[in-house]
Every structure is written in C-alpha cells, then in structure tokens.
Amino acid sequence: MHKHLEKIRVFFSALGARLRKKTKAPAETPASNEPVTTPRKSKKKVDRFTVISWGVTLLIVAALLISTWIYKDTRSSQVTLQPQPTAESGSGTVPLVGGPHISEDGGGGEFIIRDLQLKTLIPERPRSKPIIYRVSRGDAMLSIAENFKIDTETILFANNDLDDNPHNIKPGTELTIPPVDGIYYKWKDGDTFESVAEKFDANPEDIIDFIGNNIDLTNPQVLAGALVMVPGGTRELRNWAQDLQTAGRGANTGTGGSNATNICGGGPVASGFGWPANSHNISGNGYSPSHLGLDIQANEGDPVYAAGAGIVTMAQGGWNYGYGNVVQIDHGNGYVTVYAHLSSYNVSVCMPVGQGTVIGAAGNTGNSFGAHLHFEVRIGGSNVNPYQIVQ
C-alpha cells in the first residue's frame, strides 16, 4: 500500500514540474519604468500544486480504505446455499428450503424449512349477497346446494316459484342462491329483531351482525320494505308428497290411515325390505325435509323391483302431480312404498307381489329431467327416510 501511495505522490509532483516549465516568463520591463517599491521581509513561497496533489492523494486513500472495509463486512455476511435434499410428494419430488447454510468463509445461519408452493393459496371470502344460478341439464337440487355449501331448504325458501318442491327445477330455471343458510324476510312496520327471529326460530343478534344486511351496529334498525336475511331462519315446508294420496288396502287394514282409498283387502305381508333397483347410487336428491324420497340412479328401461311383499294399491299413468307413471304397494305391516317416473309398469291394482318382483321399468315421466327411480316409504300416510327401512 505504501509503494502505491509513493508512486501516486511522485506522479503528481512530476506533473506539476512539467506544468511550471511550460509557463511563460513575464516580459522584461525597462528599469526606468519599474515602480518604486519598498523593501519588505522575504516570505517562503508555498507550492499550491503540491498541496492540491497531496489532498487528492489523501481522498483516494480514504476511498480505498472505506471500500475495502465495506467489501469485507459484506463478504462475511454472505451465505452460500448448499444443495438441499428433496422430499417425496406424489409422483415427483419437492425441494426443501431452509436448514443450516454455511458459506465458504464460515458465515451462515438457521432458516425455517418450508415446502415450496406452486400456487398462492388465497382464502375464500364469504359471500354477503345472493347470486343467480341458471340450472343446467343433469342438475339436481342436492348437487346445487352442495356446490354452494348451503342446505336445499335454503334454496327452496328463496325461490317461491318452486312451491317447496325440488323436482320443480328444470334446465334454464334461474335460482336465487342465498349466501348463507337462512331465509329472506321483507321487513314490516312494527317488526323488531326479536319478533322476526322468534318467527323463524333464529337469533336476533345474527340478523344484526350479518354484514349483508348493512345494519348500523351503533343504532340497529331496519326500514319497512327492506329485504333482510335471517341467518339460520327456517319455516315449515309444504308436504308436496301428499299431493299423491297414499293408497292403502282399505280402511280396516291399518296401513292407509286417514288416506286409505283402496279396498283390495288382505294379502301378503312383508317381513323385510330390499333395495328396489340394481344401482345403490343416488343420482339426484337424497332424503331430506325438502325431498321426501330417494332419487336412485337408473337408466331408461332398467328393472324396478318390489321392495317387499304386498298388494299393489296403485298402478297409474299420467302426470300424477309430477310423479309420472307411478306404482304403490301396501305391505300389510303399516308400510306403503311408492315408485315414480316409470317408463312403464307391468302390475295392476290389487295384484299380490313378492319381494324382488319386477313391477316396471325406470324412466323419465312426470316432473323429471333425466331417467331415474324416485322411491318413497310411507307409514300411515307420512314419509320416512327409506334408508331406515330398506336394506
């Protein structure tokens, strides 16, 4: 370093000497014209160029020292990443990021190990407003509800045109899909949060807190005529299954209850119940308060079997309140089974059948969009979940 500084000083000194030699000497002045001067004490002349050259040299030295210090400090904190092992993930491998990393000069540190993510996971934000969904062929109320993570009853509550019947949807139908389970209510004069919540078996605080209602929490109130979501609210659904009257053996056989309309009399009594179709898959709607039967997967023309021994109490074609071609069997032990949307049936009223007898073929008649078997189980005229009865 000292040698370099000495070279720099010699360079600037030589440069100054050359510049002084090139400077022209001042023109001679006749002695007669020279001004009269007063003798003064002599002063040592200062070489300004030498001072400047030394100043520049010192600046360069300072810059070199500072840059050297910064470089060494940065170098000590650098980390050289070493190849990391990979972890099995599906069919490929995922590199593990993190762990102890040591640089060449001994620096390094500990890092948190994380799996690499190919996509940024953005949490789904909850909806606060209803949306409109257009029904496509093959849709069922159950699949639509599952897609939007709400109950089928909520969709029925919000769409009065369906008349509480999930079978009333068809391709092209536009459904209002609420953001949460509950019921929409048009506010009236004199309503309070407590009275509305009690009417729909809900919590008044849920009405106030629901962001979609835009209620000022410092002064909660709703103007008459406003449409308000009652989260968790519910009401009784119309028993659309009663449109098709239960056909029992007769008033004295104990299976039809007050809805008994048939006088076939006695006959076989079921000792158990089996599945009425070859497939055990549900193709549309399962059993729920909004759907009082099972939509069992079946292709057009697939056989339909009597779930148990009994007497045929209905074998009827036509619309039949949307049931289409329908068969009913009274099993003599309080149970009546219903088979709907048949393409055809090969039994007649008062005909005895055994468990597993082919009574018809699956179809797409009545209020149906796509072949399947609609199957119900009734006790005394009231629907029950077939899964509790049929094996």
Tokens of 14: 């030589």
* Local mean pLDDT, 10-residue blocks, the chain (391 residues): 65 66 51 49 58 80 81 62 51 48 53 60 78 89 91 94 88 94 96 96 96 93 95 90 82 53 79 94 85 93 97 94 94 93 96 96 90 93 91 77
CB atoms within 10 A of CB 165: 20
How high is the pLDDT of residue 267?
A: 84
How high is the pLDDT of residue 89?
A: 45
How high is the pLDDT of residue 21?
A: 60
* CATH 2.70.70.10 given to domain 240-388: yes
> What are the φ/ψ torsions at residue 205 (nearest 5 degrees)?
-65, -30
Q: What are the DSSP calls for 181-207, one per residue?
A: SEEEEE--TT--HHHHHHHTT--HHHH
At residue 266, what is the residue type?
A: G
CB atoms within 10 A of CB 281: 10
How high is the pLDDT of residue 104?
A: 54
| Angle CA 348–349–354, to nearest 5 | 75
User: Of 367, 362, 365, 389, nearest to 378 (Cα)?
Assistant: 389
How high is the pLDDT of residue 353?
A: 96
Each domain of the chain, given as residue ranges in start order, spans: 131-231, 240-388
Tokens of 326: 């329908």
How high is the pLDDT of residue 93?
A: 46
CA 10 to chain centre: 78
Using CA of residue 175, residue 178, residue 181, residue 187, what is the dihedral sign? negative
CA 113/CA 246 separation, integer angstroms: 66
Tell me how far CA of residue 117 lies from CA of 83, 96, 101, 382, in angstroms: 19, 11, 21, 54
How high is the pLDDT of residue 188?
A: 95
How high is the pLDDT of residue 42?
A: 45
CA 375/CA 337 separation, integer angstroms: 7
131-231: CATH topology: Membrane-bound Lytic Murein Transglycosylase D; Chain A (3.10.350)
Angle between helices 48-77 and 2-22 (to 10 degrees): 150
CA 225/CA 239 separation, integer angstroms: 29
